[in-house]
């Protein structure tokens, strides 16, 4: 069977959805079609919460109506071939689609780890698969001791949620601290303390070198010779770009396994774009290739691709990936954007640091108050903001977006210290001690700005 469409999108995650909606709103006369190889679409960042905070996997789904309401065709099928020359896509059921423009949003796959015993029953990955996650939740309900390999965002969030199920949880992290890749040490320590308060064990500076068991998982052996009993093991050590289709189609792939794209998200083929986890990322500051995989980053790329799919415009460029992260455990929230201190120093930036602490309500005696700590990184010579980290309560999830926008627009100490803000006793810190401005003032006191 042969079908025709104008804009064809392969994938069904957040980036595919946003690209489809953006393209359709920009080009109302064009037919937009999304093909995905799964029946139901998950909210990727919500996966950990299936195991503790939510009652079921179904509560973590993206409804198809977001596509259908925008007059976007949705096809449930698996793409098995992309033909660049003929501008066609072939599916497993024998249908082939002709397209004018193609957007690849095939996401990522869990990293395959070379650990002895990794194939034993009781070892699980974090997959974006409804049936698999249902099975995993059922298995975990029958366990007592769970070891999570990896202390990044997904690792600590899975630990917290499985802990809510009443299970004994241990995190094993090869680096000196959990979240080490995203935060400076003082923020990592703050989060680790919160995890330990919930009786979650943390083993850092060590690796799982062997998974031991006869017919199923029984324990793990660490590189420090320690053994930990386990009924289940969760692999939370990251993901790799899912680029098999793109590679087989002859598109250029970089050394990190991602589809090479330019600032408009266009691939080596003028009529094919790639977005999200499968697409190349370029660091905002160093312009080096990086592997940031975030739904927020993916949807930003999706908007750029959707807007540029027919007509390229310079105001719709991707100027580089900033990397804006956040997480929340045991009432402590952490967030980061741009360069952290150790990354700035590693890349030989001459920096000045500004820090401030303030309550997130005013007066501080109001109920449900949290202390907010802000650490900002500035270029010592130009005063340009390079990065920021925040710890505190729920409001920091939006505060970090202020920092991210400031980085994206290369604002300076002078811009931020005179930033106009809105405040309210129940909603924000005091206008006298707003912590982003306070941290900027602290940095300003350390340098001379003309």
pLDDT in tens, 333-354: 999 999 999 999 999 999 999 9
Does residue 279 lie in a domain region? yes
How many structural domains comprise the chain?
A: 3
- What are the Cα distances from residue 402, in Å, to 304, 316, 411, 420, 421? 20, 20, 11, 12, 11
pLDDT at residue 317, as a whole number: 80
Q: Are residues 312 and 336 in the same domain?
A: no
DSSP secondary-structure letter at 315? G
pTM of the model: 0.93
Confidence label for 212 from pLDDT (cuts 50, 70 and 90): very high
pLDDT at residue 22, as a whole number: 96
Task: Check: CB of residue 215 under 8 Å from CB of residue 232.
Answer: no
User: In the listed set 210, 237, 264, which residue is the last one of a domain according to the structure?
Assistant: 237
User: In the listed set 237, 265, 290, which residue is the last one of a domain according to the structure?
Assistant: 237
406-444 per-position pLDDT tens digit: 999 999 999 999 999 999 999 999 999 999 999 999 999
Alpha-helix residue ranges (DSSP H) falling in 243-376: 244-248, 295-308, 341-346
Q: Are residues 167 and 77 in the same domain?
A: no
Does residue 273 lie in a domain region? yes
Q: Are residues 230 and 251 in the same domain?
A: no
Question: Dihedral of CA 141/145/149/152: which sign?
Answer: positive
Does residue 326 lie in a domain region? no
> Does 376 score more than 60 pLDDT?
yes
> Does 314 score more than 70 pLDDT?
no
User: In the listed set 221, 237, 253, which residue is the last one of a domain according to the structure?
Assistant: 237
> Does 315 score more than 80 pLDDT?
no
User: What's the domain range around 205?
Assistant: 123-237
Q: Are residues 287 and 308 in the same domain?
A: yes
Q: Are residues 101 and 244 in the same domain?
A: yes
Distance separating alpha carbons of residues 249 and 82, to the nearest angstrom: 5
> Does 316 score more than 80 pLDDT?
no
Q: Are residues 168 and 233 in the same domain?
A: yes
Does residue 116 lie in a domain region? no
> Does 227 score more than 80 pLDDT?
yes
Q: Are residues 94 and 48 in the same domain?
A: yes
pLDDT at residue 117, as a whole number: 96
Distance separating alpha carbons of residues 359 and 393, to the nearest angstrom: 10
Does residue 324 lie in a domain region? no
Does residue 115 lie in a domain region? no
Distance separating alpha carbons of residues 77 and 96, to the nearest angstrom: 11
- What are the Cα distances from residue 25, in Å, to 30, 260, 302, 349? 9, 26, 13, 41
Q: Are residues 214 and 226 in the same domain?
A: yes
Q: Are residues 300 and 374 in the same domain?
A: no
Does residue 79 lie in a domain region? yes
Does residue 431 lie in a domain region? yes
Question: Dihedral of CA 116/258/11/263: which sign?
Answer: positive
Q: Are residues 342 and 306 in the same domain?
A: no
Task: Check: CB of residue 367 under 8 Å from CB of residue 325.
Answer: no
Q: Are residues 74 and 131 in the same domain?
A: no
Q: Are residues 439 and 359 in the same domain?
A: yes
pLDDT at residue 311, as a whole number: 87
CATH number of the domain encompassing residue 266: 3.50.50.60
Distance separating alpha carbons of residues 247 and 193, to the nearest angstrom: 44
């Amino acid at each position: 069977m042969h079908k025709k469409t104008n804009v064809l999108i392969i994938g069904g995650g957040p980036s595919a959805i946003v690209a489809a909606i953006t393209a359709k709103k920009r080009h109302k006369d064009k037919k937009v079609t999304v093909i995905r190889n799964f029946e139901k679409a998950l909210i990727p960042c919500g996966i950990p919460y299936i195991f503790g905070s939510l009652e079921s996997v179904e509560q973590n789904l993206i409804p198809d109506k977001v596509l259908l309401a925008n007059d976007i065709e949705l096809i449930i099928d698996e793409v098995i071939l992309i033909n660049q020359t003929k501008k066609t896509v072939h599916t497993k059921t024998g249908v082939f689609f002709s397209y004018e423009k193609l957007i690849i949003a095939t996401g990522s796959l869990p990293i395959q780890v070379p650990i002895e015993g990794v194939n034993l029953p009781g070892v699980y990955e974090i997959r974006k698969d409804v049936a698999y996650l249902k099975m995993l939740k059922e298995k975990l309900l029958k366990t007592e001791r769970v070891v999570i390999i990896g202390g990044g965002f997904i690792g600590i969030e899975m630990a917290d949620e499985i802990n809510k199920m009443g299970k004994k949880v241990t995190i094993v992290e090869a680096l000196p601290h959990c979240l080490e890749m995203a935060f400076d040490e003082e923020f990592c320590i703050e989060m680790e303390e919160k995890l330990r308060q919930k009786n979650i064990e943390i083993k850092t500076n060590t690796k799982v070198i062997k998974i031991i068991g006869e017919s199923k998982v029984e324990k793990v052996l660490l590189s420090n010779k320690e053994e930990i009993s386990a009924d289940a093991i969760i692999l939370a050590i990251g993901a790799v770009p899912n680029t098999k289709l793109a590679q087989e189609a002859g598109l250029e792939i970089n050394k990190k396994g991602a589809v090479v794209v330019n600032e408009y998200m266009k691939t080596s083929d003028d009529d094919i774009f790639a977005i999200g986890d499968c697409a190349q990322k370029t660091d905002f500051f160093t312009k080096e290739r990086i592997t940031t995989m975030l739904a927020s980053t993916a949807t930003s790329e999706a908007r750029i691709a959707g807007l540029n799919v027919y007509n390229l415009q310079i105001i719709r460029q991707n100027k580089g990936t900033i990397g804006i992260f956040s997480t929340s455990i045991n009432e402590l929230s952490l967030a980061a954007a741009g360069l952290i201190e150790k990354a700035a120093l590693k890349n030989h930036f001459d920096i000045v640091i500004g820090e401030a602490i303030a309550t997130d309500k005013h007066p501080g005696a109001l109920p449900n108050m949290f202390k907010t700590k802000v650490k900002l990184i500035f270029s010592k010579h130009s005063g340009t903001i390079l990065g920021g980290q925040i710890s505190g309560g729920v409001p920091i999830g939006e505060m970090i977006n202020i920092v991210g926008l400031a980085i994206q627009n290369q604002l300076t100490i002078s811009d931020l210290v005179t930033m106009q803000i809105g405040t309210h006793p129940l909603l924000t810190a005091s206008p006298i001690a707003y912590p982003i401005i306070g941290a900027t003032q602290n940095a300003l006191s350390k340098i001379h700005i003309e």
